[in-house]
Chain A
Amino acid sequence: MKAWVFGDNVDTDAIAPGRYMKSGIEEIASHCLETVNPEFSKQVKAGDVVVGGRNFGTGSSREQAPEALKHLGVAVLIAESFAGLFYRNAINLGLPAVACAQAKRIRQGDLLQVDFQEGWILDLTTAEKLACESIPGFLMSIIRDGGLLPHLEKRLARTA
């Protein structure tokens, strides 16, 4: 998993620009983070990791922000901290988001291994192991189901 590293306060207008919000997720994703790193949406590969600094995802409630990252194949989000609303949206879309106080030790292009259930990140490039917060059990069950929509589908099927 290759790391794409961004700074503090990356906002939802950078991740999912407002002027493309009327379009489908494919169009929105093609402009994802273009004002910060124009190469990102073209070169990111399935399974890569996005690493942010403080308050990643600040701004709008638009869930197209985590949805665009997921659409591009991003497997995990790591940040020193997340904006609360963005964090809820990421989990609800089945995209794991892991808060790691030492996220800034990760450099662009590092290869990572992440266990968000146990709460650790292994930087294979620097051979450094970083502690991170684990995702609470009831949110893990949403991620395991692939997001809140399939999670609700299962719940409704049980009660039907």
Chain B
Amino acid sequence: MAQTLAQKLVARAAGREQVTPGEIVTCKVDLAMVHDSSGPRRLQPRLERLGAKVWDPSKVVVITDHYLPAYDDESRKIIQIARDWVKEAGVSAFYDAQGICHVVLPERGHLRPGMFAVGGDSHSPTGGAFATYMFGIGATEMLGVMVTGEIWLKVPHTIAMDFDGGLSPGVSAKDVMLFLIGRFGMDGGQYQAVEYRGPAIRALSMQERMTLCNMTAELGGQTGLIASDEVTLRYLGKGEIWDGDAGAPLLAHHKFDAGQLAPQVAAPHSPANTRAVGEFHERLDLAYIGACTGAKLDDLRMAASVLKGRKSKIKLLVAPASLRDQQAAEKEGTLGILLDAGAELLANSCGMCAGYGENLLPDAAVAISTTARNFKGRMGSASAQVYLASPYTVAASAIAGRIADPRELLA
């Protein structure tokens, strides 16, 4: 029987030849990633209560990104617990203040095609860009993984999102995801595996593919997957090709012409509240380029291509997703373009996206953001209005002081 990529990945982790969608299996975990908020501060007291140790410290990665920069006693304490716990638990893969976990994890070579991984964060499907079966779990379930090295899974069906052709200039992976979430809703993924396919997907860089898989969380899938190919192997410098069998049964197969897609904007207060950019003209107070889904090196380059030689009319905040990406952006001049346009640089952390830290949206603020969620009150005041868009669109909107189509500036 032909198997999808998701089935093949799950079967390997379950020690089986084949698996069938809907059956419950137990999988061995190859890698468990946690951050400071969901990780050590919640794991440590529970492991102590159980008198248990981490099943295999070499398979655990800890990354601090939520409570950075620490700004009060509570946040300092949370970060300190992470620093102490990695020593106590014998975890050597610890990245402290290096950037957002979903970006740092593959950047430091922890993901390979064929792996089965869990993350203590809902955007963990990002790992699927590397043909790793990866999904988010809560802290108690992570405790179960830390103690047993295993996790149960209902073998997912696969929903294929197939994009023919190629994306137009000024249109990016973020637009693809906002479009899909708008079209299918925040539960369109039905907690199954969503697989992105087709020539337009193959043409994307690894960081753009990460944006697709990342926002599978907002599409309601358990994981988002892309078969590995020469782009994957070039990024990793090694690895195998993992792909589904031709003709493997799918729950749904949606086909789109990528060239028809215009830049998309999601209005408050849902990522599913999406329409084409041309339908929006709202005045803005602030533009935010940040988060795992919107401030990687490729995202910063997109913003810079629009902002080059121009000035932002409104407050423009940039929080590069990782320290390495920031350094690369600085070296090649991308960061300089953003700063010349008037951008204010923030730390390489989750920051405003998750409503953590000191920078929060004030009452009645109207903002456009490259982040993943615009739920009411998430980024600050419940009266703030947040529009989601690509780095191109956020940059064009910053210049105009209102929501604007980036294609006019790129032409």
Q: Are A9 and B38 in contact (CB under 8 A)?
A: no
Q: Are A88 and B138 in contact (CB under 8 A)?
A: yes
Q: Are A138 and B24 in contact (CB under 8 A)?
A: yes
Shortest C-beta distance, A145 to chain B (Å), equals: 12
Contact with A along B349-390 (1 / 0, CB 8 A): 000001110001000000000000101111010100000000
Q: Are A153 and B138 in contact (CB under 8 A)?
A: no
Task: Please choose the segment from B44-52, B82-90, B102-110, B256-264 that sits at the chain A interface, where 4 or more of its residues have CB less than 8 A away.
Answer: B44-52
Shortest C-beta distance, B316 to chain A (Å), equals: 23
Q: Are B50 and A156 in contact (CB under 8 A)?
A: yes
Q: Are B50 and A18 in contact (CB under 8 A)?
A: no
Shortest C-beta distance, A19 to chain B (Å), equals: 5
Given A18-B355, A83-B220, A138-B152, A148-B141 contact (CB < 8 Å): yes
Taking the complex as formed, is A62 at the interface, i.e. its CB lies under 8 A from any CB of chain B? yes
Chain B residues numbered 238-291 whose CB sits less than 8 Å from any CB in chain A = 270, 272
Alpha-carbon separation in the docked complex, A13 to B24 (Å): 30
Which chain B positions have C-beta within 8 A of A62? 37-38, 138
Shortest C-beta distance, B382 to chain A (Å), equals: 5
Q: Are B137 and A61 in contact (CB under 8 A)?
A: yes
Residue of A54, A85, A92, A93 ringed by the most chain B CB atoms within 10 A: A85
**Interface of B (DSSP majority class):** loop
Which chain B positions have C-beta within 8 A of A13? 355, 373, 375-378
Q: Are B187 and A81 in contact (CB under 8 A)?
A: yes
Contact with A along B122-152 (1 / 0, CB 8 A): 1010000000000111111101100110001
Q: Are A61 and B355 in contact (CB under 8 A)?
A: no
Taking the complex as formed, is B163 at the interface, i.e. its CB lies under 8 A from any CB of chain A? no
Given A61-B38, A88-B141, A11-B356 contact (CB < 8 Å): no
Chain B residues numbered 278-333 whose CB sits less than 8 Å from any CB in chain A = none
Which chain A positions have C-beta within 8 A of B196? none
* B137 CB contact (under 8 Å) in A17, A88, A138: A88
Given A18-B378, A58-B187, A85-B138 contact (CB < 8 Å): yes
Taking the complex as formed, is B177 at the interface, i.e. its CB lies under 8 A from any CB of chain A? no
Residue of B152, B185, B222, B377 ringed by the most chain A CB atoms within 10 A: B377
Contact with A along B214-239 (1 / 0, CB 8 A): 00000010100000000000000000
Which chain A positions have C-beta within 8 A of B356? 18-19, 21-22
Alpha-carbon separation in the docked complex, A35 to B380 (Å): 12
Alpha-carbon separation in the docked complex, A13 to B373 (Å): 10
Which chain A positions have C-beta within 8 A of B116? none
* B187 CB contact (under 8 Å) in A54, A60, A147, A152: A54
Taking the complex as formed, is A59 at the interface, i.e. its CB lies under 8 A from any CB of chain B? yes
Taking the complex as formed, is B65 at the interface, i.e. its CB lies under 8 A from any CB of chain A? no
Contact with B along A66-94 (1 / 0, CB 8 A): 00000000000000010111001100110
Chain A residues numbered 22-51 whose CB sits less than 8 Å from any CB in chain B = 22-23, 35
Alpha-carbon separation in the docked complex, A14 to B37 (Å): 18
Which chain B positions have C-beta within 8 A of A83? 186-187, 191, 220
Q: Are B37 and A152 in contact (CB under 8 A)?
A: no
Chain A residue at minimal CB-CB distance from B72: A22
Shortest C-beta distance, B203 to chain A (Å), equals: 30
Given A13-B355, A18-B355, A35-B382, A152-B143 contact (CB < 8 Å): yes
Shortest C-beta distance, A59 to chain B (Å), equals: 7
Contact with A along B57-79 (1 / 0, CB 8 A): 00000000001000000110010
Q: Are B24 and A11 in contact (CB under 8 A)?
A: no
Alpha-carbon separation in the docked complex, A93 to B141 (Å): 9
Taking the complex as formed, is B121 at the interface, i.e. its CB lies under 8 A from any CB of chain A? yes
Given A18-B354, A35-B376, A153-B50 contact (CB < 8 Å): yes
Shortest C-beta distance, B369 to chain A (Å), equals: 14
Q: Are A22 and B67 in contact (CB under 8 A)?
A: yes
Shortest C-beta distance, B187 to chain A (Å), equals: 4
Which chain A positions have C-beta within 8 A of B49? 149, 153
Alpha-carbon separation in the docked complex, A19 to B377 (Å): 9
Taking the complex as formed, is B99 at the interface, i.e. its CB lies under 8 A from any CB of chain A? no
Which chain B positions have C-beta within 8 A of A156? 50-52, 147
Q: Are B141 and A92 in contact (CB under 8 A)?
A: yes
Which chain A positions have C-beta within 8 A of B360? 19
Which chain A positions have C-beta within 8 A of B120? 61
Given A9-B186, A58-B220, A138-B24, A149-B139 contact (CB < 8 Å): no
Shortest C-beta distance, B32 to chain A (Å), equals: 13
Which chain B positions have C-beta within 8 A of A89? 137-138, 140-141
Q: Are A60 and B143 in contact (CB under 8 A)?
A: no
Contact with B along A88-111 (1 / 0, CB 8 A): 110011000000000000000000
Chain A residues numbered 139-157 whose CB sits less than 8 Å from any CB in chain B = 147-149, 152-153, 156
Q: Are B270 and A9 in contact (CB under 8 A)?
A: yes
Given contacts A54-B187, A63-B38, A88-B138, 10 further A-B contacts (CB under 8 A): A18-B355, A22-B75, A35-B376, A61-B38, A83-B220, A85-B222, A88-B137, A148-B140, A149-B46, A153-B49
15 contacts between A and B (CB under 8 A): A9-B270, A22-B67, A35-B377, A58-B187, A61-B122, A63-B138, A84-B222, A85-B137, A88-B137, A88-B138, A89-B138, A92-B138, A138-B152, A147-B140, A153-B49
